[in-house]
Each structure stands twice: as C-alpha cells, then as structure tokens.
Chains A and B, each alone.
Chain A
Amino acid sequence: MSMPFYVPPEQMMKEKADFARKGIARGRALIALQYINGIVLVAENPSNNLRKISEIYDRIAFAGVGKYNEFDQLRQMGVRAADLTGYQFSRADVEGRGLANQYAQIMGQAFTHESKPLEVEILIAEVGLTASADRLFHVTYDGTVVDESQSCILGGDTEAISARLLPTLDPNAELSVAVQKAAVALAGPDRSLTAEDLEVATLARGTERRCFVRVDEAQVALFLQA
C-alpha cells in the first residue's frame, strides 16, 4: 500500500493561501466607499457584460474579484438565499451580516477541505437608513470576514491602492467626487482609467425599495471629466 506524503498543516495552508492570493492578484481591483448618499462601488472591468458588481437584495450589493465563474456562482447563491429568506419571512429579515457569515462558511470550507481553494475575494455592501448603519463585509478566500468602515479594497495591489485612496477619503463627498477618487486610486500614477475601463454602481439611500443602481458609461465619463 502506498503512503501519501506527509505535508505539515502550516505548509499546506501557506501553499493554498499563496495559490489563492496569486489567482486573485492576477485580476483587477475594486473599491467600495461611502459617499454622501450611500455606498459607491467602482471596479476596473473592461467587460461590459461580465459584471463584478451586482444586486443581491433591496439594500445589499455583491462585488467580487478573482475568477469570474467562482464569484459569479457565489453571487447566485446569495441572490437565492436572500430571495428565499425574504419570501419565507419578510424583506426586512434579509441582512448583509447573515449573508456574509454564510459566505464565510462556504469559502472557509472550500479552503480547508477542497483540493483547490476559491481564487476570489468578495464584498457584501449594505446601505443603511443612515450613514452609520452602512456595512461593508469583506470576505477573503479563506473565509475570513472583515467588517470594514468607510471604504474597502478588493483584489491585487491593495496596499498601493489604499495608500492612494485613504488620504482622500471623505464620506460626505458627492458621487462624482467619490468616483473620481476611486478611479485615480485604481489607476495609480502611471496611467489613467476612462469610463470604458470602469464598472460603477451605487447603493443609494432614497425612497425606492431597491437601492441598487448601475451608473452607465456616459454618466461615469461626465464624472471623470469634472
């Protein structure tokens, strides 16, 4: 009988983490930040059809970076769980925190038990009735949940991006200013991003039940000009 090689757990975890991080760093980054009327999500995404940012529920958005098929599957699971909870109980019973915890379970499980961890990082953004009730839950490839405030950066090169973004943060900024700052932070000093390179959506506090709104390319272009 052949014996499998013994691999110490530290080394196995480290290698899995390195593998996942490498996969995630290959993709382009995404920023979520508070602005005066809610939360805006800005992703560097040249595709107009394969979305990184989408709606989960009335006040909840999903964003993912890394392998598209993996985070899109997670997105679909989230929409299903949210719609079922809202159907079975009430729309008010669908919460970002619960979803983030379930994602953490699934991603943590995949990290320890599957032969290949998920090469994704996701964000569950929830807009509250007031700015202080806004929530940004960042779930990483190993199932770690981080409850971030004001802003959140997903993807590769986060340190450089956050060094550019954090000094400029202003939760009372207008939408156009917030989008501009995010675009500049994503681009870095050596290049600039145009509206075609960006995917932008907001969770806007307002009278509508569904707060998720996509910002179209023409509008983003206007924001970047200003």
Chain B
Amino acid sequence: MSMPVFSAANDPGANFLELVRRVGLSPDMSQWSESLGVPHATTCVALRYSNGVLIAGDRRATSGNWISHRGMEKVVQTDRHSAVAISGAAGPAMEMIKLFALQLEHYEKMEGRSLSLEGKANQLSSMVRNNLPAAMQGMVVMPLFAGYDLLASQGRLWDYDATGGRYEEREYVAIGSGSMHAGTVVKVGWKSDLSASDAITLACRSLWEAADADSATGGPDALRGVYPIVATIDESGWNKVSDDTLATIFETIAQEVRSR
C-alpha cells in the first residue's frame, strides 16, 4: 500500500475510521440483511467490583437453531485499560470491535497519548450509530464497553442501543439472548465491595445459569476445553482469567448443582 497523503485542510487527523473510508476500504452496509443468515453472538455480562470492572462472555455463536461456532471470542481487549463484549450479528460485530481497537491504538500513536475512557465510550457510540442502516435490516450489533478510568480511579461500564444511545451502568449489565438469566444472577449476588475473585465466581455462575436456560448461550465445554472468556480490568490493566482457574470454578458450581 502506498502512503496516504492528504492536504492540510483535508487531513483526517487521528481518525482511523475516516482514514479507512478515504482509502476506500469501508464496506457498503446498505445491502446487509438478516436474511443472509449470518451467525449470532449471544450472552455477555460486565460488573463493577471493589477496584475495577469485570467483563465476561460465553463462546457460542448460533445461526437459527444451529451452533455455528463453539470458540468465538466475543470479549476482546481493546487496549491496556478497556475491553468490549458484543452480542448480535457476529460478522459486523467482530469487524466493529477490530476497528474500534485499531482506532484506539491509531489515536494513541498519532496524538502521543490515549483517549480518556469517556472518549473511548463516545467513540464506540458513534460506531454503533454508523451501523444503523444495517441494524434496520436486522443486523443489530449490541456492544458493551468496560474499562478502568485512570482519571476517576475506578472501573466503569457502558451499554448501548442500536441508535448509538450510550448508557453508563453503575453496578452491572448483561446483554444478548441469555441476558435475563445472567443479569438476574448478577443482580442477586452483586455488592459494591466484591473482591476480584468473588466477581469472577459471580460472573461464572451467571453464565452457567444463562447456558442452562438459553439454548443460544454456550456453557463451559470441559469436553473440548473451551471456557467462557472472563477478564478483570483494574489500575494495572487487563487481566484474563486462565482456563485452568475457570475449569476449577465451573467444577465447583457443577458439584453444587449435583448436590442440590
């Protein structure tokens, strides 16, 4: 690729999305439609705990009654102190996350400093809004944004609607087909002074119950060694919980269920 050159008046600045548009790499979303039968990503939760925020999601993608992917990663680290989880049409959603993460890195490199967490949440809001033409045809992308705000010294989280509406949540949020069950479990167990490990267990329980009641949500798959993605973000940054730890937690939950 040759180096893009712009006149001073016409310069896209640190905006990677605008740059992608200018060089003609943006997709035409007007033709996208639900009838294409693309895979859908399902349940994700995020919650605040005492010194940060936790974000988690199952690994399943479905096309109608089919399980189309068992290992999808719908919780993605977008930079050192933030992450996005998505539900909805998988193709546009994964592309949105990829572009969002690139935008954060591009801004940081062009400007020599990171966007504020609030700025990142706003950026994602405009990306969801730009997806509105596709959303109108059923290709809805529902992201959830969580991060540690270095200016406010606390974890923060946001969810969005299809028009780019941005809602900051104070305690927890769940999205996707299993969100009612996952959200209820978190709601019952949530406290403001949860430790990181309590928060991890609570998130695992919520995904377990969602998978138990919602066919589109995948549970822990011990057979294939595929576990949900669970990560905490605190002042020191993103920290993904290892599969071994998750295996132990889910085994404990399974034993409790057996002994009921």
- Show the binding face of A for B, using Cβ within 8 Å: 51, 54-56, 76-81, 83-88, 102-103, 106
A80–B3 touching, CB < 8 Å: yes
A106–B109 touching, CB < 8 Å: no
- Residue interface bits B98-121, CB-to-A below 8 A is 1, else 0: 110010011001101000000000
A81–B4 touching, CB < 8 Å: yes
Mostly helix, strand, loop or mixed at chain A's interface?
Answer: helix
B112–A51 touching, CB < 8 Å: yes
Q: Which of A77, A86, A88 contacts B3 (CB 8 A)?
A: A77
Counting chain B CB atoms within 10 Å of each CB, which of A51, A77, A83 scores highest?
A83
- Show the binding face of B for A, using Cβ within 8 Å: 1-5, 16, 19-20, 23, 25, 98-99, 102, 105-106, 109-110, 112
Q: Which of A51, A77, A88, A103 contacts B4 (CB 8 A)?
A: A77
B20–A84 touching, CB < 8 Å: yes
Mostly helix, strand, loop or mixed at chain B's interface?
Answer: helix
Q: Which of A56, A76, A87 contacts B25 (CB 8 A)?
A: A87
A77–B5 touching, CB < 8 Å: yes
Instruction: Tell me the smallest distance from the CB of B22 to a CB of chain A, in Å.
Output: 10
CA distance A76 to B23 in the complex (A): 15
B2–A102 touching, CB < 8 Å: yes
B102–A87 touching, CB < 8 Å: yes
Instruction: Tell me the smallest distance from the CB of B173 to a CB of chain A, in Å.
Output: 28
Instruction: Tell me the smallest distance from the CB of A221 to a CB of chain B, in Å.
Output: 22
Note all chain A residues with C-beta closer than 8 A to B98. Answer: 87
B16–A85 touching, CB < 8 Å: no
Q: Which of A56, A87, A106 contacts B20 (CB 8 A)?
A: A87
Smallest CB-CB separation from B98: which chain A residue?
A: A87
Q: Which of B25, B102, B109 contacts A55 (CB 8 A)?
A: B109
Q: A84-B23, A84-B25, A88-B25 are in contact. Are A79 and B106 (CB under 8 A)?
A: yes
Note all chain A residues with C-beta closer than 8 A to B25. Answer: 84, 87-88
Note all chain B residues with C-beta closer than 8 A to A51. Answer: 112
Note all chain A residues with C-beta closer than 8 A to B3. Answer: 77-78, 80-81, 102-103, 106
